[in-house]
Amino acid sequence: MAIHPVDEKLPVLKLVTSGLQHVAAMYAGVVAPPLIVGAAVGLTGAELTFLTGACLFTAGFATFLQTLGIWKIGARLPFVNGVTFAGVAPMTAIAAATHDRADALPVIFGAVIVAGLLGFLAAPVFCKAVRFFPPVVTGTVITLIGVSLLPVAFGWAQGPDPAAHDYGSTTNLGLAGATLLIVLLLRRFTRGFVRQIAVLLGLVAGTVVAIPFGAVDLAPVAGADVVGFPTPFHFGAPQFQLAAILSMCVVMVVSMTESTADMLALGEIVERPADERTIAAGLRADTLGSALSPLFNGFMCSAFAQNIGLVAMTRVRSRYVVAAGGGFLVLMGLCPAAASLIAVVPRPVLGGAGVVLFGSVAASGIQTLVRAGLEKGDNVLVVAVSLAVGLIPIAAPDFYHAFPQTARIVLDSGISTGCLAAVLLNLVFNHPGAEPAGLAATPEPLPLAPQSIL
């Protein structure tokens, strides 16, 4: 039986360099939540470094669960997992509500453990929602994922600190533009392996270009330890408080919704459509990874949509490439000096590459919508309203300011609200239980290679 590209084992050099591309694409997203939460809790510089390394370590572990899998755990797709940004606001709120800041992280860890375990038990039920995701819905959601991520790239392009005097300066924007141009030139004028690692080469070249402008800070490398293990329960044993647990359970529902959408998107891109079994296995990996992360001082884990853009652009679909990226994340968690090498890439350089990555996701969604048959029935209406709802948090960030914080966890996620709107509108305008008029049928899953059978 022919091996599907998802299950293909690539040569070592290609495996390593392509895996590094995935790490570079998601590194800023992994380290941002611990930096924000750590600052809210009042951690020292050394403790903040430890927390960041722990989150890198647990992200690598969760990525192993997704890509390699054990038993019925893991989507076995090129799926990167890391700390979900959806939990940042609730975790900072928990920290603010905790009388003794020394107890804040143990309370957060306890809530994440419970939410992860409950999510693991709910995965077989939650996955059945896949039948509510025909192409008109999945195309809308994939497009929203890409469009929702683009502001992240634009923020990176302006610089790391909005309060800095050079935030949005011509120098920062110029570095982002130069990186984008380098990636585009490599994609246009190179072939084969070099073309596939254009993003990684663009990040390296962009960093070199940034050196004369003083945008490259090598201090993290000089001050980093060579070895550092995330000691279990470093910040204290987990504590279980009902309000915190309920808050993180809401985050878990949001995370599972976004992961389901991401798996459907990735399944389309790699031409192995995600069925109920795949989604259930992927959600088990998400939730189990989240439940185990606090043991090593990490936070809730979820899918990283930005890496879907990298798969879409490079067409390197092997899950072992992403597993290699997970290996690098574990290594960086165990070796702060290695983590610091990625940290020296200037944020504007990441922003320039992010435009290509996230734009590729949106383009994949548009391709899916074209196959959905927008000219038939009310499909255009479903897409139009769903996109509008999903874009509210981007176009008007304070739109839901009057709502309770718990509700805003869901409402401020354009992917979640747009996804829910698309599902509901599809049910209203197209007959439930039957293929909507004018829609292309969702392709049958491709035969699984022996190592992918759950």
pLDDT tens figures, 310-324 = 788 778 889 999 999
> Are 252 and 118 within 8 A, CB to CB?
yes
**What local confidence, expressed as pLDDT, does residue 450 receive?**
31
Query: What's the pLDDT score for residue 406?
Result: 67
From residue 133, alpha-carbon distances to 74, 181, 264 in Å are: 20, 36, 8
pLDDT digit string, tens, across residues 328-339: 889 888 887 766
pLDDT at position 316 is 85
| Residue 82, beta-bridge partner list | 302
* Better-predicted residue by pLDDT, 221 or 108: 108
In three-state secondary structure terms, 381 is: helix
Which residues lie across from 70 on neighbouring strands? 73
Answer yes or no: pTM beyond 0.75: no
pLDDT of residue 386: 92
Tabulate helix, strand, coil % of the chain (nearest 5): 70, 0, 25
pLDDT in tens, 340-364: 666 677 889 888 988 887 787 788 7
Mean pLDDT of the chain: 81
Residue 302 forms beta bridges with which residues? 82
The pLDDT score that the predictor gives to residue 360 is 76
Q: Give yes or no for a contact between 339 and 57, defined as CB atoms under 8 angstroms apart.
A: no
Name residue 86's amino acid.
A
Rounded to a whole number, what is the largest CA-CA distance in the chain?
62
Say if residue 122's pLDDT is above 70.
yes
The rounded distance, in Å, linking the Cα atoms of 220 and 231 is 21
97 confidence band (pLDDT: 50, 70, 90): confident
Q: What pLDDT is recorded for position 171?
A: 93
3-class state of residue 70 by DSSP = strand
- Average pLDDT score over residue span 297-302: 89
The band of 47, judged by pLDDT with boundaries at 50, 70 and 90, is confident
Element (H, E) at 83: strand 81-83
Percent of the chain residues past pLDDT 70, beyond the cut: 88
Per-residue pLDDT tens over the stretch 397-433:
889 888 887 677 667 777 778 888 888 998 898 865 5
What's the rounded mean pLDDT across residues 149-154?
83
174, 157 contact by CB (below 8 A)? no
**CA separation for the pair 13, 298 (Å, rounded):** 30
Which percentage of the chain shows pLDDT scores above 90? 22
Q: Is the pLDDT of residue 305 over 90?
A: no
Task: Assess contact for 108 and 84: CB atoms under 8 A.
Answer: no
Distance between CA atoms of residues 209 and 179, nearest Å: 9
Supply the pLDDT for residue 443: 39
Within 8 A by CB and 6+ apart from 214, the residues are: none
